[in-house]
């Protein structure tokens, strides 16, 4: 293989790294949010028992459907309203970065005290979108970053996602999706099952 071809291949592989990292970010967030709704479904939680933030999320989800499409799926409405209006594939759309993730967890009332700022996630999103929309070629994106820079980006992305998952795991296991006035009684009576997102992200890392 000619030297020029080797250099082009190296640039392309580095650019592909941004695609893989973005896929990790968006799929992780989708799975985390899905886990919340899985727990709501398994626990049989009804709409009125949820905290205010969670109820607002459900109402926003409901607005995406016409009455014709959804009315037969909402009986009993107080319980099924939570889970039947949620669809994983409608979450996000190439727009996930640290700011979007912070806004999302705030929407659900998920507590966060994260040490990692996640600034590199914007870079990952930006480069992914440049490639996805054909604004730049793989070689053009890849030439601007060294392998050590890409590794540093990967490490920050993983560290940030691990903190997000820890927060979501706490939210689920401690039933923090419930109205705070009902949460203590719900836990004491064994409502639902606890959930923990303990799978190391390093296993999913490309």
Q: What's the pLDDT score for residue 87? A: 84
Higher-pLDDT residue of 200 and 107 is 107
Task: Tell me the per-residue pLDDT of 141-185, one tens digit each, with 9 for 90 and over.
Answer: 999 999 999 999 999 999 999 999 999 999 999 999 998 775 445
Q: Which residue has the tokens 């959804």?
A: 70
Give the separation between CA 58 and CA 189, rounded to whole angstroms. 25
Residue 84's pLDDT band (cuts 50, 70, 90): confident
Output b/e per residue, 25-42; b: 16+ Cβ within 10 A: bbebbbbbbebbbbbbbe
Confidence of residue 202 (pLDDT cuts 50, 70, 90): very low
Mean pLDDT score across all residues of the chain: 84
Question: pTM of the prediction?
Answer: 0.81
**Distance of CA 121 to CAs 59, 143, 196, Å?**
29, 19, 24
Predicted confidence (pLDDT) per residue in 42-81, tens digit: 988 888 899 999 999 998 888 776 666 555 555 556 567 7
Helix (H, G, I), strand (E, B) or coil at 50: strand
Q: Are 45 and 192 in contact (CB under 8 A)?
A: yes
Give pLDDT tens digits for 30-46.
999 999 999 998 988 88
**pLDDT score at 75:** 54
Domain range list for the chain? 14-204
């Amino acid at each position: 293989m000619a030297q020029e071809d080797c250099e082009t291949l190296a640039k392309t592989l580095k650019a592909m790294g941004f695609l893989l990292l973005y896929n990790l970010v968006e799929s992780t967030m989708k799975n985390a949010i899905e886990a919340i709704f899985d727990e709501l479904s398994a626990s049989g939680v009804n709409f009125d028992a949820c905290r205010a933030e969670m109820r607002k999320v459900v109402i926003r989800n409901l607005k995406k459907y016409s009455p014709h499409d959804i009315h037969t799926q909402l009986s009993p409405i107080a319980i099924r309203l939570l889970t039947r209006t949620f669809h994983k594939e409608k979450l996000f759309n190439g727009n996930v970065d640290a700011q979007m993730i912070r806004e999302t967890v705030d929407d659900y009332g998920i507590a966060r005290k994260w040490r990692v700022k996640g600034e590199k996630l914007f870079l990952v999103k930006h480069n992914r979108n440049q490639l996805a929309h054909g604004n730049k070629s793989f070689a053009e994106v890849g030439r601007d970053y060294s392998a050590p820079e890409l590794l540093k980006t990967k490490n920050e992305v993983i560290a940030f996602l691990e903190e997000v998952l820890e927060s979501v795991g706490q939210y689920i296991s401690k039933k923090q999706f419930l109205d705070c006035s009902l949460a203590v009684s719900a836990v004491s009576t064994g409502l639902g099952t606890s959930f923990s997102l303990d799978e190391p992200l390093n296993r999913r890392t490309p």
